[in-house]
């Protein structure tokens, strides 16, 4: 069994992925800096199921501090890295581009330097569907031109993909850039729409709807995303000279109005909607072509959107 470094292991996707690796018999080295973007206690709760697992080691450190990263992992043997950590969110990135450059680009540079120094060859990197911007061609496929990002967040993710290619080319690192599409499910970040709307609806409060409700997202249930990441790591272990970009989406966009209706059904409560203008940096649609992921490593999303919403609401209500 391998030893996997998971950055952002206390986060939404990272905690689910860590559990999967541990359940499959792997060793996991986890890193998180408990970024104050949301409350530390949420992330600590995410880790409750594995923090005391004897196959798990945890380091609280900032990836953008290179010496902390190098020194912290000095005695850890690592076979592959899944780099999920970073500042998330399109709208906050418009207010703090420098913070996103540090947490996303500088941190990724440090991960790549760690790989070069320690002869770690395999990297799965968390990119984002936001790199596609407002392209009119749907569904989005990996060969599209993504040189027009419309938020600092999207820019940092595209920049990291390019950085990864440079290190692949210069230092023969095997890398897959994973473009995630609106991942949701239990433990979803509290700032994201499904979590936020569920909280407001169940508390009888007004929910903000930006635009007319026709914008759509390719919502992907967290278990499907985690299965895709796990398959990518397995793919990396069985291939050499790899540099790939793959979409990990669901291939079934859901409109904002339909998303709200699904939460209403799952909670049994009616939403009080306040319509607002579209927000800067938001895109009209995300829609993943997942043919490449299916062909490369058998990726095949299993969860229907409504079932995923039911699971999320049950988690939200019962913890």
- Give the pLDDT confidence of 175-219 residue by residue, as tens digits: 999 999 999 999 999 999 999 999 999 999 999 999 999 999 999
Q: 61: closest CA among 35, 89, 24?
A: 35
pLDDT digit string, tens, across residues 26-37: 999 999 999 988
Q: Is the dihedral of CA 181, 184, 188, 189 positive or negative?
A: positive
Q: State the Cα–Cα distance between residues 101 and 160, nearest whole angstrom.
A: 10
Map out the domains of the chain as residue ranges: 3-188+220-251+287-302
Separation in Å, CA 250 to CA 35, 67, 221 = 28, 39, 8
User: How much of the chain exceeds pLDDT 90, in percent?
Assistant: 94
**From 38, 100, 132, 153, the catalytic residue:** 153
**Confidence (pLDDT) at 281:** 76
Active site includes 219? no
Could you give the angle at which helices 107-118 and 152-171 cross, rounded to 10 degrees? 20
In angstroms, the CA 268 to CA 318 distance is 15
Query: How confident is the model over 103-147, as pLDDT tens digits?
Result: 999 999 999 999 999 999 999 999 999 999 989 899 999 999 999
Q: Give dist(CA 265, CA 214) in Å, integer.
A: 19
Q: How far is Cα 11 from Cα 314, in angstroms, rounded to an integer?
A: 19
Q: Left if phi > 0, otherwise alpha if psi is -120 to 50, otherwise beta: which for 187?
A: left
pLDDT-derived band at 280 (thresholds 50, 70, 90) equals confident
Q: What pLDDT, on a 0 to 100 scale, did the predictor assign at position 251? A: 95
Does domain 3-188+220-251+287-302 match CATH 3.40.50.720? yes
- pLDDT tens digits along 73-95: 998 999 999 999 999 988 899 99
Q: What is the pLDDT of residue 319?
A: 72
Averaged pLDDT, 214-240 = 97
Of 30, 85, 39, the residue nearest 59 (C-alpha)? 30
pLDDT at 38: 87
Characterise 119 by phi-psi region: left (phi > 0), alpha (psi -120 to 50), beta (else): left
Query: Cα–Cα distance between 217 and 17 in angstroms, integer?
Result: 22
């Amino acid at each position: 069994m391998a030893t996997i470094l998971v950055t952002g292991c206390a986060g939404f996707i990272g905690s689910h992925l860590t559990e999967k690796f541990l359940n499959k018999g792997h060793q996991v080295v986890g890193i998180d800096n408990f970024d104050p973007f949301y409350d530390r206690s949420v992330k600590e709760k995410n880790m409750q199921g594995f923090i005391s697992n004897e196959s798990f080691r945890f380091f609280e450190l900032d990836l953008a501090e290179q010496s902390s990263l190098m020194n912290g992992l000095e005695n850890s043997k690592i076979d592959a890295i899944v780099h999920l950590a970073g500042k998330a969110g399109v709208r906050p990135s418009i207010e703090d581009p420098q913070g996103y450059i540090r947490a996303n680009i500088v941190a990724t540079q440090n991960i790549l330097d760690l790989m070069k120094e320690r002869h770690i060859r395999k990297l799965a990197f968390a990119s984002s569907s936001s790199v596609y911007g407002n392209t009119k061609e749907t569904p989005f496929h990996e060969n599209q031109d993504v040189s027009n990002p419309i938020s600092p967040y999207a820019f940092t993710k595209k920049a990291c993909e390019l950085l990864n290619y440079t290190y692949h080319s210069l230092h023969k690192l095997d890398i897959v850039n994973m473009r995630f599409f609106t991942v949701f499910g239990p433990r979803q970040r509290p700032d994201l729409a499904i979590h936020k709307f569920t909280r407001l609806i169940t508390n009888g409060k007004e929910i903000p709807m930006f635009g007319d409700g026709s914008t759509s997202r390719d919502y992907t249930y967290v278990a499907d995303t985690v299965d895709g990441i796990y398959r990518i790591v397995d793919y990396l272990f069985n291939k050499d000279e790899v540099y790939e970009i793959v979409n990990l989406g669901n291939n079934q966009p859901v409109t904002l109005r339909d998303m709200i209706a699904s939460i209403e059904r799952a909670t049994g409560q009616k939403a009080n909607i306040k319509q607002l203008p579209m927000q800067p940096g938001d895109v009209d649609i995300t829609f993943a072509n997942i043919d490449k992921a299916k062909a490369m490593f058998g990726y095949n999303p299993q969860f229907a959107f409504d079932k995923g919403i039911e699971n999320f609401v049950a988690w939200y209500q019962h913890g």
